[in-house]
Amino acid sequence: MKQLRLGVLTGIFVIAGVLSWAGAKLWNAYGTLPGVPLAAPIVLAVIAVVLFATALSLRGRLKAQRERVPGAKGVEPLMAARAVVFGQASALVSAVVAGIYGGVGAFLAMDSLEVPARRDQAVYAGFAVLAGACVIAAAMFLERVCRLPEDDDKDHARADA
């Protein structure tokens, strides 16, 4: 499984943002732009909290497992792999969603902040981008927690050869 790269996620965010901004500009020219739902930043924030809580739980269990604490509940490798896949998928989707809301928010901020409804929509979009960044940070933390330690035996074998 490949590790998440911040550059790839940033590229996805920027591409989605530019396309969303252009789409919002076009949509607004031919009709009424749909609103940014208030639930968007809330849902992203909930996903970030779930990812962060999962990472903290796994980190504690892995630490107890490594230290061989009696009665410690270990972590099954498949469960850790599923958590990492969930984190990676969440980060990729969050980069797209945050880019979309970032583009719409930028369009609304440049176009019409004097209209109270549009200003509120721009604020919701800004919070959605912030919550999307939190999802990405939590996913990368989860991935770091579940990373396997380096195999010291391979390093010693290479040095001997």
Q: How does pLDDT run across 27-54, given as a tens digit for each residue?
A: 988 888 888 899 999 999 999 999 999 9
Taking only the tens place, the pLDDT of each residue in 52-108 is 999 999 999 888 888 888 877 878 889 989 999 999 999 999 999 999 999 999 999
**Residue 41 contacts residue 131 (beta carbons within 8 Å):** yes
72 occurs within a structural domain: yes
Is residue 158 in a domain? no
Domain range for 122 is 6-28+35-149
Measured distance CA(72)–CA(83) in Å, rounded: 19
Q: How many structural domains are present in the chain?
A: 1
pTM equals 0.85
In-domain check, residue 126 = yes
**How far, in Å, CA of 64 to CA of 61, rounded?**
5
Q: Is 122 exposed, middle or buried (CB count within 10 Å of its CB: 0-12, 13-18, 19+)?
A: buried
Q: Could you tell me if residue 130 is inside a domain? A: yes
**Residue 1 belongs to some domain of the structure:** no
Predicted confidence band at 151 (pLDDT cuts at 50, 70, 90)? very low
Mean pLDDT, range 139-148, rounded to an integer? 90
Confidence band for 150, pLDDT divided at 50, 70 and 90: low
55 Cβ contact partners less than 8 Å away, ≥ 6 residues apart: 83, 87, 138, 141, 142, 145
